[in-house]
Structure 1
Amino acid sequence: MATFSTLGLRPEILASLVKMGFETPTEIQAQAIPHILESRQDLIALAQTGTGKTGAFSLPVLSKIDEILKRPQALILCPTRELCLQISKDIKAFLSEFPAIKVAAIYGGDSYVAQYNALYAGPQIIVGTPGRTLDMVKRGSIKLESISWLILDEADEMMKMGFKEELDAILKTSPADKQTLLFSATMDRTVERIAKTYMKNPKEISTSVKNQGSATIDHEYYMVQAKDKYETLKRILDVHPDIYGIIFCNTRVETQHIAAQLMKEKYTAAAISGELSQGQREQVMAAFRNRQIQILVATDVAARGIDVKELSHVIHYGLPTKTDHYTHRSGRTGRAGSNGTSIAIINLREKYMLRMIESKTGIVFKSKTIPTAKDICTAQLLQVVDKITAAKENAVDISEYMSIIEEKLSHLTREELIHHLVSVELGRFINFYKNLPDIRSAVIQDAKPSPYKNKLFEPRPYTPENMTKMRMNIGKRSGFSVPKLFEVVNSQKNIKGIQIGDIKLEGDYTVLEIDKSRKTMFMNALNNRIINGVTLHVEPLGDMPISQTNVPQQEQTAVPRPSAPKPQMFKERTRGKKFAKKKY
């Protein structure tokens, strides 16, 4: 097995790694580091979050960089300021025994003055987000002529977040002889375009392990009605009083709402979102790392770059629409050999997504029953006992107060004293839960099979052999969306409940996977229907991977929305009133 000492890294960098306790490289590091050290060939590295990508590209670059030259020699671009700060923090840790190399973090939402000063200090490495980096290039604050390495970290996310123009501009103005290192979780069409346009005969490497923490993570789900999601969340938090984790929401609005509700109800929670200033974000993250905050509520984008060890739980307040996003989320717990739990709170409509994640990742979800009042009070009681035990081990000297305490409590028996102590600690939970109905009964009732269920659509295992690709001539430009797709499909009696796999929504068309045996029925049900002014045309696309489907512009056949004649308008003025009448 390879160790860092055998890879050819600089002695100062090895000393930093020893100081940090790192001896053995991860799979992606073992493949990438020798290539970058020994070759100037461009590199495409495919690896999931949590596989050590930062070390894979930064350690060899740090070993080759010229510390005498006080100009930017390596430019690292990443999608979010959180990830930008995390990468720069990691690199500074790698340089603890090599202070001659300087690092500057350049990102939006922070003072230009502080970043100008960081650039004026002559950093050899710049870590930045595409927007602010391009701004600094245009202002002349960042000079790219000395760049020897251009690293694109999470290139797929940068493209999804709309940084295509910024990346194109930076790549065009950077030196032609640089080495480009592209790191991504997936090799989709947009990433392939970057590789073809701006990389020279790149070598491609990938890791066989999707997520290193998956073996130490328990995956659980709670099936509830949509209206009971928040109450279920509270019960999960209450039955795990020592929880230390992240709650993932799918929208920023939902994130802020959930965090506000939790704080209002005295939970130690906070939200992390793009609306916070950098100073506020750093305060929240410092409190979370110090465990002054137990629960962080975030979206997938806001959580990029958050690297907090020893998280006990990740909670999905609704499943993400993409399988790799689920592995990114759940991979934040169960790291470094510790155990973690990933919990999904879903309703009946989301169950198809759960099964899709299972089939594509090999994860097995365990169904859990919603904690009862007794479950919660028992868990809270055990925590009180643990606190008392811990206090005995770390006892504070209160001998001078004991006479007063004994006098005050002398009228209580041992049993009465324990009863009073527990009542004080658990009174809030007992009073809150004693009259609440059991949430599970409503879910069980909804889960009963309908006597009208169409037997044609009994669940079948999701495998590539069972599915086929279909193309619909309607997309985002016509106001089409994934929820609208399911609404249209479920409005047709013959195909309601049909199994749907991956969905790719583009400007003028949509590609999706459906149950292969229902292909003809699917086309017959939807062809010639008018949706958002577009006459649908549905056709089979073949068996190519959905990520490689790229329909040329001239083949897009979306029918433009018919424009209705505008009614003539005239204004009629009356005393004290102004209004318009339609003239027909």
Structure 2
Amino acid sequence: MTTFESLGLSEELLRAVTELGYINPTPIQEQAVPVLLSGTKDFIGLAQTGTGKTAAFGLPLLQLIQADQRYPQALVICPTRELCLQIVKELELFKKYQPAMHVVAVYGGSSISMQIRDLRRGVQIVVATPGRLIDLIERKAINLEQIKYVVLDEADEMLNMGFQEDIEAILKNTPERDSTWLFSATMPPAIRQVSKRYMDNPAEVTVGKVNAANKSIDHQYFITQAMHRYETLKRLIDFNPGMYGIIFTRTKLDAQDIAEKLTREGYDIEALHGDLSQEQRTKVMNKFRDKTLQLLIATDVAARGIDVSGITHVINYELPDDVEVYTHRSGRTGRAGKTGICMSIIHQRESFRLKQIERIIQVPMHKLEIPNGKDVCRKQFNHFMDRLLATDISHGDYETYLPLLIEKFADVSKEDVLKMVAAQEFDRFLKYYENSEDLNIRSRDPRDRREGISVDRRRGEDGGAPRERKQFGGSGNYTRLFVNLGTKDGFFKASFLQFILDLSDLRKDALGRIDMKEMNSWVEVDPKAADQMIRSIDGKNFHGRKIRMNPADSAPPRRK
């Protein structure tokens, strides 16, 4: 078995990783480190999040850089503040025996003047988010002309967030770099284009298969009617006491709405979405990392770069449109050799999408029954009893109170005491589930049963009258809107959907089809919501360009 000693690392780095408990490198570390230590080879590393990519590029950087030269020699670009800080934290651990080596994080939402001050003190490695780095370049607060190594970490996420222009501008500002190292979980066409334009015959290493899901994750799905999504979510949480997880929604409105409902019902949960300030976001994330919060509910954009260890469950409140997004979501659990569970709540018309996801991630998805009320209560009781039996009574002065307790309960049987304890803990819980309904969708016709999914193409979702098919831009069921944003702006359909929903504060069910082209897109929207969407989006700025949105059948305004 390969060890870190065999990778060619320096004595100082080996000493640091040994003290951290690292013995054998992960597959991406084993294949990447020897190549990167050459220092002159462009490199593409494809591996899922949580496979040790930071060490794969961080250890070679710390060995290649000249510690006695106090100017930026390496640049690590990543999508979010959280990932930026995480990378710096790991590099600080690796450079324990290299005191002359300095690493600085620069990111938005924090004082730029303090970051400029840190840069002026002298630094060899800069870890940055794209937007803040562009800001520093424009202020002439950082000189990238002597950068030798550029690392693009989570490259697919950065492009999916619309950072392609920023990344290309940064690469143009590092003309003297010896090599570019690109790490990504997936390889969409936009990443391939960047590699062709800015990399020279890169060595490429793939750990697992591109888009493939982590094999240590159990992928489960539960079929219910759309109106029962929230009840299904609540039941899945209750059936898994001790869950420490992230719930993903399409829009910030859904995230906030569900968080408020669950909070009112006594759950430890908070929402993470685009309306939070950086200070509020940091507060929420600290509470989640400290496990003060049991659950975090987030949109995909808000959750970019989150890296929290020990997450047991990921729940898709709705399936994402893109398989890449599903891979990123599920990859939050089952990390560092641990197992995890990814649950998806779907309705029966989404069966074809399950097949698409299953085919691409190359991992089977298991259909499970939504637990009934009695099953949930039984699971909660067992969990409570296990916690009760495991209670540590060795540190309190309980002996002092024991005679009083014995006297107080002298006429109460052991069975009655247990019932009282259960009633105190579960009275409200039992009443809630006492007459709970079955949330599963049952097949009405055995001929229509396919792997447990009821599909009747002649009927509606609930097996009733046939639904009227909504035509794209022609039937009057939807108003068709034009918007001057497209795939060239770095959007995938899922990220574009969330972008317009977040700006307009509309729900997903207000939208129909989205037709995306390179420069423009057309969006179907409920006629009652069309004016709200236009007011919210038309005239806004996107990367310095004014967004134009108007009804597709009206002439666009003339530019002056």
Compute the TM-score of the two structures, normalised by the length of structure 1: 0.76
Q: Deviations over 1:246-272 (max 9, x none)?
A: 111222222222222221211011222
Paired residues in the alignment total 481
> Structure 1 residues 394, 347: CA separation in 2 closer, same or farther (over 3 Å shift)?
farther
Aligned residue number for residue 25 of structure 2: 25
1:173-212 pair list within 5 angstroms = 173-209=173-209
Does residue 10 of structure 2 align to residue 16 of structure 1?
A: no
Write the mapping of 1:426-465 to structure 2, written as runs, cut at 5 A: 426-440=426-440, 444=443, 448-450=454-456, 452=458
| Structure 1 counterpart of 2:42 | 42
How many angstroms apart in 2 are the aligned matches of 1:451 and 1:189?
35
Deviations 1:162-205 (A, max 9, x none): 22222222211213343211222333332233223222332222
Distance 1:286 1:102 in 2: 25
Alpha-carbon distance between aligned partners in 2 of 1:561 and 1:264, rounded to the nearest angstrom: 42
Matched ranges for 1:493-508 at <5 A: 505-507=516-518
Alignment CA distance shift 1:565-1:368 (3 Å): closer
Query: What secondary structure does 1:333 align onto?
Result: coil
Could you give the per-residue CA deviations for residues 343-375 of structure 1, whole angstroms, max 9, x where no partner exists? 111112322211111122222122111121211
Q: Counterpart of 1:230?
A: 230
| Counterpart contact for 2:46–2:210, Cα < 8 Å | no
Contact 2:103 2:125 in 1 (8 A): yes
- Which range moves more in the overlay, 100-109 or 267-276? 267-276
Report the equivalent of 1:172: 172
Other-structure match for 1:220 = 220
1:323 equivalent in structure 2: 323
**Matched residue SS, 2:390:** helix
CA contact (8 A) 1:86 1:306 kept: no
Contact 1:213-1:336 within 8 A present in 2 as well: no
Instruction: Give the secondary structure class of the aligned counterpart of 2:341.
Output: strand
Secondary structure at the aligned position of 1:301 is classed as coil
Tell me by how many angstroms 1:212 deviates: 9.1
Report the counterpart of residue 57 of structure 1 in structure 2.
57
Larger radius of gyration: 1
Q: Tell me the residue number matched to 2:128.
A: 128
Report the counterpart of residue 472 of structure 2 in structure 1: none
Residue of structure 1 equivalent to 2:379: 379
> Is the 2:155–2:184 contact (alpha carbons within 8 Å) kept by the matching residues of 1?
yes
- Return the offset for 1:116: 2.4
Query: How many angstroms does 1:509 deviate by?
Result: 8.6
Is the 8 Å Cα contact of residues 247 and 315 (structure 2) preserved in structure 1?
yes
Q: Evaluate the alpha carbon distance shift between residue 299 and residue 38 of structure 1 in structure 2; reply closer, same or farther with a 3 A threshold.
A: same
Paired residue type of 1:325 = V
Unmatched segments (≥5 aa) in structure 1: 455-473, 484-502, 511-529, 533-559, 567-584
Q: Judging changes above 3 Å, is the alpha-carbon distance between structure 1 residues 14 and 304 closer, same or farther for their aligned structure 2 residues?
A: farther
What displacement does 1:231 show? 0.6
Q: 1:394 to 1:236 in 2, by over 3 A?
A: farther
Aligned residue number for residue 356 of structure 1: 356
Shift of 1:36: 1.5
CA RMSD of aligned residues (A): 3.1
State the TM-score, normalized to the length of structure 2.
0.79
Measure how far apart 1:150 and its partner are.
Answer: 0.9
**Aligned to 2:93, what secondary structure does the other structure show?**
helix
Q: How does 1:56-455 map to 2 (within 5 A)?
A: 56-209=56-209, 214-391=214-391, 394=394, 396-440=396-440, 444=443, 448-450=454-456, 452=458
Seen in structure 2, the aligned counterparts of structure 1 residues 385 and 59 have a Cα distance that, compared at 3 Å, is same
Deviation at 1:243, TM superposition (A): 0.6
Distance 1:482 1:68, change over 3 A: closer
**Given residue 257 of structure 2, which amino acid in structure 1 is its aligned partner?**
H
CA contact (8 A) 2:150 2:177 kept: no
Q: 1:5 maps to what in 2?
A: 5
Q: Deviations over 1:322-352 (max 9, x none)?
A: 2232222222222233222111111123222
Q: Secondary structure at the match of 1:419?
A: helix
Match of 1:183, SS state, is strand
In 1, Cα distance between the equivalents of 2:377 and 2:316? 24
CA displacement 1:544-565 (0-9 Å, x = unmatched): xxxxxxxxxxxxxxxx966579
- Check whether the contact 2:185–2:211 (CA below 8 A) recurs between aligned residues: no
2:99 maps to a residue whose letter is: P
Consecutive unaligned residues in structure 2, runs of 5 or more: 446-452, 461-480, 495-513, 525-550
CA shift, 1:122, in A, is: 1.6
**Residue deviations 1:468-488 (CA, integer Å, cap 9, x gap):** xxxxxx9975999979xxxxx
Helix, strand or coil: the match of 2:345?
strand
CA distance in 1, matches of 2:54, 2:418: 52
The change in CA–CA distance for 1:26 and 1:313 in structure 2 (over 3 A counts) is same
The alpha-carbon deviation at position 210 of structure 1 amounts to 5.3
Aligned-pair CA distance for 1:144 = 0.9
> Which sits farther off after the overlay, 118-127 or 187-196?
187-196
Structure with bigger RCO (C-alpha 8 Å, 6+ apart):
2
Q: Secondary structure at the match of 1:214?
A: coil
CA 1:331–1:186 in 2, change beyond 3 Å: closer, same or farther? closer
> CA shift at 1:397, angstroms?
2.6
**Structure-1 separation of matches of 2:186 and 2:216:** 23
Q: Any idea what the Cα deviations from partners look like across 1:35-94, whole Å, max 9, x if unmatched?
A: 111240222222222222211111101111111111111111112222212222221222
The CA distance in 1 between the partners of 2:435 and 2:226, in whole Å, is 21
Give the 3-state SS of the residue equivalent to 1:197 in structure 2.
helix
Q: Is the 8 A contact 2:51 2:336 kept in 1?
A: no
Q: 1:429 to 1:453 in 2, by over 3 A?
A: closer
Q: Any idea what SS the aligned residue of 1:450 has?
A: coil
Q: Does the residue aligned with 1:110 lie in a helix, a strand or coil?
A: coil
Higher deviation after alignment, 266-275 or 276-285? 276-285
Q: Deviations over 1:482-509 (max 9, x none)?
A: 79xxxxxxxxxxxxxxxxxxx9943369
How far 1:125 moved relative to its partner? 0.9
- Does the CA-based 8 Å contact 1:16-1:95 persist in structure 2? yes
How far 1:452 sits from its partner (Å)?
A: 3.5
**CA distance, structure 1, for counterparts of residue 187 and residue 331 of structure 2:** 20
Does the residue aligned with 1:391 lie in a helix, a strand or coil?
A: coil
Letter of the aligned partner of 1:186 in structure 2?
T
Contact 1:82/1:303 (8 A) holds in 2 = no
CA deviation string 1:134-180 (max 9, x = no partner): 10111122111221111111222222222222222221121334321
Give me the whole-angstrom Cα distance separating, in 2, the residues matched to 1:305 and 1:451.
40
- Tell me if the contact between 1:247 and 1:314 (Cα under 8 Å) persists in the aligned partners: yes
CA distance in 2, matches of 1:505, 1:11: 53
